[in-house]
Amino acid sequence: MGEEMKVIVFGLANEEYGIEVEKVRTIERMMPITRVPKTFAFVKGVVNLRGVVIPVIDLRGRFGLPESEATESSRIIIVAVNELEVGFIVDSANDVIDIDSDTIDTPPEVVGGVKAKYLRGVAKVGDSRLLIMLNLSEVLNKSEIIQLEQQEA
């Protein structure tokens, strides 16, 4: 048996994804987002959350998936990685589950249109449910984001 880990499950483009609970600060309803000039399209802007300014990324845009309008169930998941706090816009935040780290398999090259480098793996939950685990350090890879900005400049 591997380690038990608590994971927040969220929906994005008809797939279920997971982020370890200890990396998640809070889950918020959609709120006004202030645009920031000269950022990529997937960087939607910043929010002021209890006095802290946090950049917000549309995960659909980050993964190259078609973006969609926010709905009643859209959420902003605030995560913290390496002293960096960032909000992810997701279609829905569904629940918190326990998974065994041994059930996480290496991701195939592309899952649901998302490149493997952004994924930590695919976890089997029960008999029929697959949960795509994010590799947050790659999703928030600063050097890649800076390179993209230079290309778009």
Question: Each residue of 24-40: pLDDT tens digit?
Answer: 999 999 999 999 888 88
Residue 25: per-residue pLDDT: 94
pLDDT at 147 over 50: no
Q: In this structure, what token pair is assigned to residue 61?
A: 């845009």
Question: Each residue of 36-77: pLDDT tens digit?
Answer: 888 888 889 999 999 999 999 999 988 888 888 999 999 999
Radius of gyration, CA atoms only, the chain: 15
Beta bridge partners of 132: 17, 122
Residue 145: per-residue pLDDT: 55
pLDDT at 152 over 60: no
Dihedral over alpha carbons 30, 31, 36, 40 (to 10 degrees): 0
- Model confidence, pTM: 0.85
- Report whether 40 contacts 28 (CB < 8 A): no
The superfamily CATH assigns to domain 4-152 is CheA-289, Domain 4 (2.40.50.180)
C-alpha separations of 59 from 44, 55, 86 in Å: 10, 12, 11
Residue 144: per-residue pLDDT: 54
Going by pLDDT thresholds of 50, 70 and 90, the confidence category of residue 82 is confident
Question: Each residue of 87-138: pLDDT tens digit?
Answer: 999 999 989 999 988 888 887 776 666 677 788 888 988 888 889 899 888 8
Q: Which of 81-90, 127-136, 142-151 has the lowest mean pLDDT?
A: 142-151
